[in-house]
Amino acid sequence: MSQGVVIRGVGAVSALGPNVAALRDALWAGRDGIAPITRFDVAPFEPVHLGGCVSAGESCVEWAVAAALEAWRDAGLEGHAVAPDRIAVVAGTTEGEGSDLPGIARAVAAAIGAEGAQWTVSTACTSSANALGLGKDLLDRGDADVVLAGGAERLLPEMFAGFFRLGVLATDACAPFGATRGTTLGEGAGFVVLERAERRDGPVRAYLHGYGLGSDAWHETTPEPRGGGIERASKGALGDAGLAASAIDYVNAHGTGTPANDDSEWRGIRAALGARAEAIPVSASKSFLAHAQGAAGVLELIATFCCVEQGSLPPTLRVGEGRPNGPPDPIGQGSPRAARVTRWLSNSSAFGGANAVLCLGTEPAPATDAGPRVARVVGLGRVRFEADEPRDEARLARGVGVDLLDTDPSGRLCVAAASRALADASIRIRGGLRERAGIFAGATRVSPTSLAEYRDSIERHGLGRCSAVAFSRLVLHAPAGATSRLLALRGPTTTLAAYGVGGLLAFGYAADTIRRRRDADVMLALGFDERAELEESEGAACAVIAADADAGPCVVGFATAGPDALEAAIDAALTRAGATRDAVASWHRLDGVGPAPSLSSASLALEAAVAVREGARYAVAAAADDSVSCAVVLAPNPGRMKTHG
């Protein structure tokens, strides 16, 4: 019987130093990494001038590789026999290096010789936390034997400018839950090595019991005031772990230091944990690390490790007496507090209303197996404009039922496709279903329109007066966040970055979530591309996947593999479906990246679903790019579906 997923090794590059040892030493000394920024001119942002910057190098790819290699060595894997095609990488980032979002995962894979799937999560400040959860899924499903999961982010002046214009940066070093209001931006990289516990003997840094995702469905940048997204993500993590709220000993909060975040997060923690929340410590590591954005979740998790393994908990610097209506015990003493911790939660929140919560522990959790559900495709929707065909805004808005003016073209494409898919499914998102309906998206790049608007605002007015609205939409997850907000989808949410397979990955991940988890009953899977030039095609394709529905094609196999292993991914998906190639009546595949790649790969899943609707016994959708190969098998009936083993 599986003993769950464990963290074998950790690696970090942060404002506290070039490795985990430096981070640990700073925590125990009560010393933060926040200082005046010298790498770029902060004069346009006066009086704000502080950041948590990395002192060595300026490339987040370089930091990611250093952190990954440290984690690899810490896990004792140097010289240890692991088949390269069974090593996967999952990286989280907001910007990547030069906007090459999947480049971090590729670089880490090359550094350790990994030839398995290389996934990229881009949900702004929840990216690396979501990456760890996705890494757990890859192990649970059997797509890998070892996963390096984490994230990396570099603080850019354009990013600093956007936060400055939003009015959320503090003039002094941030003090989560304390008197100083506002956050301090940072940077860095962190990675952990994940394995199934029974794979080999060796030291265990922690058990990754589970994770949860939840959408605020509220605003582009401001968290939902009641903390609903954090509440749902926390309950999802506990459900994934098979634990009750009473089992939690500590919460490492997202804790940015802004009133909107800190107040709503504490409300969400209380809603999720009930009376238990008032009895346990809640601290925030951004007071040491600053806000490392896409790398924040994993770095704050590692900071917790550094204390828990020494029988202590990380404090919150500068919290003073705390804020009214804040956590009663934010560990404000300035140095780690002696405490025995068995299980804890680690929170992350982000623009677009994305929330991710990890549940970890120092010992195995009770084994749980609720049994798989049937994942049926119950609705399909697509909007597409061919090359040289102008975008028809009236056509996009037709039948949507919500105002599309308050988002960019990427958002409008997504909302239009999602609305059509829900109409095809005859599903209305209302009442309690709002809490149990989510959206997973796959995309290639941020909105070219919003990017051009942001750059134009800087050129016209300077960094200090850039467009806050355009900046808020320069997150790959922003269109999915807008869809979540406009259609009231408050369940699990994420966005995957891929050059050729993003839409199909989102479809497979959403179906796997419906099948194996219990925190959503309906998932929308979406792939979208917004054109940069009229000579390009654009659009969005969406599938509605429901648990245990009465009718509709079933997703009976899903697998991912390395970038040059599409046939292996197909074979694995067919094996899990209990089918052979000879039984497949309808094939839908892309070999290489074509026009509108996320739309095209999502369309493969829709075409396979239509083939099954029309009588095909089995249909396969498969695609690959230079990071990952993906295959999905659909059939009229659920059949049997295997995971690893």
Query: Catalytic amino acids?
Result: 125, 254, 291
CA terminus-to-terminus distance, the chain: 10
Q: Which residue has the tokens 């860095």?
A: 188
Whether the CB-CB separation of 204 and 126 falls below 8 Å is answered with no
Q: What is the 3-state secondary structure (H, E, C) of 523-588?
A: EEEEEEECCCCCCCCEEEEEEEEEECCCCCCEEEEEEEECCCCHHHHHHHHHHHHCCCHHHCCEEE
Q: What are phi and psi of 355, to 5 degrees?
A: -130, 140
For residue 485, give both structure tokens.
Answer: 């907000």
Q: What are phi and psi of 591, to 5 degrees?
A: -110, 100
Which residues are CB-contacts of 494 (< 8 A; sequence separation ≥ 6)?
Answer: 121, 123, 130, 134, 213, 354, 440, 441, 477, 480, 509
Nearest by Cα to 192 from 347, 298, 300, 61: 298
Q: Rounded to an integer, what distance in angstroms lies between the CA atom of residue 271 and that of residue 129? A: 21
Other Cβ atoms less than 10 A from the Cβ of 459: the count is 9
Burial profile 187-215: b = 16 or more Cβ within 10 angstroms, e = fewer: bbbbbbbbbbbeeeeeeebbbbbbbbbbb
Other Cβ atoms less than 10 A from the Cβ of 511: the count is 26
Whether the CB-CB separation of 525 and 602 falls below 8 Å is answered with yes
Residue 431 in 3-state DSSP?
A: helix
Whether the CB-CB separation of 258 and 326 falls below 8 Å is answered with no
Q: Which residue has the tokens 């988002």?
A: 407
Burial profile 619-640: b = 16 or more Cβ within 10 angstroms, e = fewer: bbbbbbbebbbbbbbbbbebbe
Q: Rounded to an integer, what distance in angstroms lies between the CA atom of residue 163 and that of residue 125? A: 13
Distance of CA 360 to the CA centre of its chain: 17
Whether the CB-CB separation of 350 and 304 falls below 8 Å is answered with no
Residue 114 in 3-state DSSP?
A: coil
Cis peptide before 366 (omega within 30 of 0): no
Report DSSP state, residue 436. G
Residue 235 in 3-state DSSP?
A: helix
Residue 5 in 3-state DSSP?
A: strand
Other Cβ atoms less than 10 A from the Cβ of 83: the count is 11
Distance of CA 421 to the CA centre of its chain: 24
Whether the CB-CB separation of 545 and 375 falls below 8 Å is answered with yes
Q: What are phi and psi of 460, to 5 degrees?
A: -80, -40
Whether the CB-CB separation of 360 and 206 falls below 8 Å is answered with yes
